[in-house]
Every structure is written in structure tokens, then in C-alpha cells.
Chain A
Amino acid sequence: SQTIHQWPATLVQPVGSPLSLECTVEGTSNPNLYWYRQAAGRGLQLLFYSVGIGQISSEVPQNLSASRPQDRQFILSSKKLLLSDSGFYLCAWSVLSGLSNQPQHFGDGTRLSIL
């Protein structure tokens, strides 16, 4: 069966510091990968998605970047964190297939607090 791992579960960082969040998927090949952010009391906002190694699409221009160095690894980064980067960061995957109605499956998230 497929599993998705995100770490760390919680993170407290000072303003201006760098960030690296990692997500890995097991049990599937060539998945679509996604990074979402959920601000407190609000819905999920898609940040980035990837359909293959090195292929990144950005939904919202911002202080963050994403990379996919391996088929099942997705990394969210920032060079300098802002207070507004606080939130709950979620990684998700879906099957890459002609059946594009396949659901997305989420990890347990990283709760990021910026001080």
C-alpha cells in the first residue's frame, strides 16, 4: 500500500531563517506531488505541484520554492522566512494516469510557527 511521510511534524523558526520541509511517498511510482498550506481557520491553498522529476508548477508567487530531486521526493524551501509563512503545510500525492479523477492523498502535515 502507498504511504506518504512528512517531516518534521512541528517546527518553530525565527524570521529570516531558511526552511526545508521534506515529503516522500512509498509504494507508488511517478506520482503527482503537491504542496498545500492551510492558514489558521482557513481552507487549503495549493502552493506547488509536480508531475515529474524536476517539473515544478507554482500556483501562487511567494517567498517559497519547491524541488523534486527524485521521483518520490518533494521538498519545500525558503531562503528567508516571513511571519506570513506561518501555517500548516501539507504534502499530497495522486496517481499519474489517464484517469485524471484520481483523488489526492495527504500526509500528516508540518505545523510551522515563525517567531
Chain B
Amino acid sequence: DAKTTQPTSMDCAEGRAANLPCNHSTISGNEYVYWYRQIHSQGPQYIIHGLKNNETNEMASLIITEDRKSSTLILPHATLRDTAVYYCIVRVAGTASKLTFGTGTRLQVTL
């Protein structure tokens, strides 16, 4: 699976949009981009995933560049409860394939 690069940490004011970048310059054509987050002492929570089109759900939006070498997770109105470590994962579509979590981005939402 392709490796990803994310900033170690980011801050965001409550109510503002949080834009979390991820670089995956070696991504292959059959690899999806997944985003998870992990709040301290809890299991990872699935947020969103996509292949090449932009995606939106009730939690967030995922913007994937046309060359698919990078993506951005957007939390439109961050709240204090969004403080967590956010993981960008690239995975080949395959039965029961593992998720490889890196170190992620620690997002701190402040008042």
C-alpha cells in the first residue's frame, strides 16, 4: 500500500473549517483513500473514503486532487469534540486487506 504523509499537528478554532491535508504521491490506480480519527482511549472511527471523486457525508468532505497524489479532509464547522488524531490511509481494494495506520495529524480544536 502507498505511504502517506500528514502534518504532525494542527490547530483550529471552534466553528471554523478544519482542513487536514494528506500527501500520497505514490498512490496506485486501484488504491482508495480512507480517513479515520481516534479520540483518546477509543477505537478509530471511520469518517469517509474515496477513489478519485470528491465525497461528502454527514461528518466531512473529502477532496482528492485530479492526479490523486494528495487529498484534504474538511470538517466544515469544527467543534471541541472533533479534537482527535486523524489518519489518512491508502489501501488497495482487496478482500480483508489490512489498514496501515501511520502517525496521523493531531487536531486540536480550541475556543
Contact = CB atoms under 8 A, between A and B. Distances in A.
Interface of A: 32, 34, 43-44, 46, 49-51, 57, 59, 90, 92, 94, 96, 100-101, 103-109, 111
B101 A32 contact: no
Contacts, number: 51
Interface in B31-57: 32, 34, 41-46, 49, 51
10 contacts: A43-B103, A44-B101, A51-B95, A51-B96, A94-B96, A100-B94, A103-B46, A104-B46, A106-B43, A106-B44
A106 B98 CA distance: 13
Nearest to B44: A106
B5 to A, nearest CB: 14
A107 B99 contact: no
Is the contact region of chain A dominated by helix, strand, or loop, or is it mixed?
strand
Nearest 5 pairs of A and B residues by beta carbon: A106-B43, A46-B98, A43-B101, A44-B101, A103-B46
A107 B32 CA distance: 22
Interface residues of B, number: 21
Given A92-B43, A109-B43, 18 more contacts: A32-B95, A43-B100, A44-B99, A44-B101, A49-B96, A50-B96, A59-B98, A90-B43, A94-B96, A100-B94, A100-B97, A104-B46, A105-B46, A106-B43, A106-B46, A107-B43, A108-B42, A109-B41
Q: Please classify the interface of chain B as helix (H, G, I), strand (E, B), loop, or mixed, using the class held by over half of its residues.
A: loop
A107 to B, nearest CB: 5
Given A44-B44, A107-B43, A101 B49 contact: yes
Contacts of A108: 42-43
B41 A100 contact: no
A59 to B, nearest CB: 7
A32 B43 contact: no
A57 B96 contact: yes
A32 B97 CA distance: 10
